A = this chain, B = another copy of it.
């Protein structure tokens, strides 16, 4: 199961009961927190997110609407007696900020906090059945996107056919990854004789905040679900560009060029009370688009 739950879908200013950016990705029995605007810990309580399942937190950039809630979450986890280690992937300066805030409060967290400064495109975590990687996006300050990917065999063994073809069960794992079997007498059992396509491994990519930039389409090529920011409607493209943000049209164009399956849009400017136009404009270009709504879980 790969899914994303939205905790905050608004841009810089909280408004209309919409909160600054935060979302949680559920994958392989773990919860991954992506950005952590002010009030995220309250949103987690509201939407019953199990904090104990969070082992990894990803911060895209150091504008406050993406991280001002982090220090509160970290200290609350400590007060609640957390002892599990926690990993944070972040623009370098975040470590100084958190360190300073803990120091002046004379707080010693009861758990180990591991800081992983982001430094380039590449794999951040690769554990058993999943992988998370980072890629640059293009904002006024250093900013990162994140890609979540399940790792799973792409073939499923048909045990009856495998037996008929005398493939030992010790070879089944290799069959799942597409290998063919060579018998002792040198004859080959072709993989597709004894396997079927497995359910596809799912992937999700998160892009906020960013200018329209076609390099992003490369970074997120073919993901099942893409979250791309849409701070403004299409008529404000010039303003979006000046502020290093994107419009509905631009986000949908990236989704189209990247060949993704579905697009989720968010980071709405607080100048907009109603959001329908965001959906309409994006769907003109990329029909399989949904609004990122707070409290809603989008299964990939």
Interface residues of A (CB under 8 A from B): 12-15, 19-20, 38-39, 41-42, 45, 62-64, 68-69, 71-72, 75-76, 79-80, 91, 93-94, 96-97, 100-101, 104-107, 140-141
Contact = CB atoms under 8 A, between A and B. Distances in A.
Contacts of A93: 100, 104
Nearest to A96: B100
B39 A106 contact: no
Q: How many copies does the complex hold?
A: 2
A79 B231 CA distance: 15
B101 A64 contact: yes
A80 B270 CA distance: 11
Nearest to A93: B104
Nearest to A37: B72
A105 B68 contact: no
Contact of A42 (B39, B72, B80, B105): B39
A13 B82 CA distance: 14
A12 B41 CA distance: 12
A268 to B, nearest CB: 14
Contact of A12 (B20, B62, B76, B96): B76
A64 B73 CA distance: 10
Contacts of A13: 76, 79-80
Given A41-B38, A72-B38, A100-B96, A141 B14 contact: no
A106 B64 contact: no
Contacts of A68: 38, 68, 71-72
Contact of A62 (B20, B96, B104): B104
Contacts of A14: 41-42, 45, 76
A245 to B, nearest CB: 13
Nearest to A63: B105
Contacts of A69: 38
Nearest to A69: B38
Contact of A105 (B45, B62, B71, B76): B62
Contacts of A106: 140-141
Nearest to A19: B42
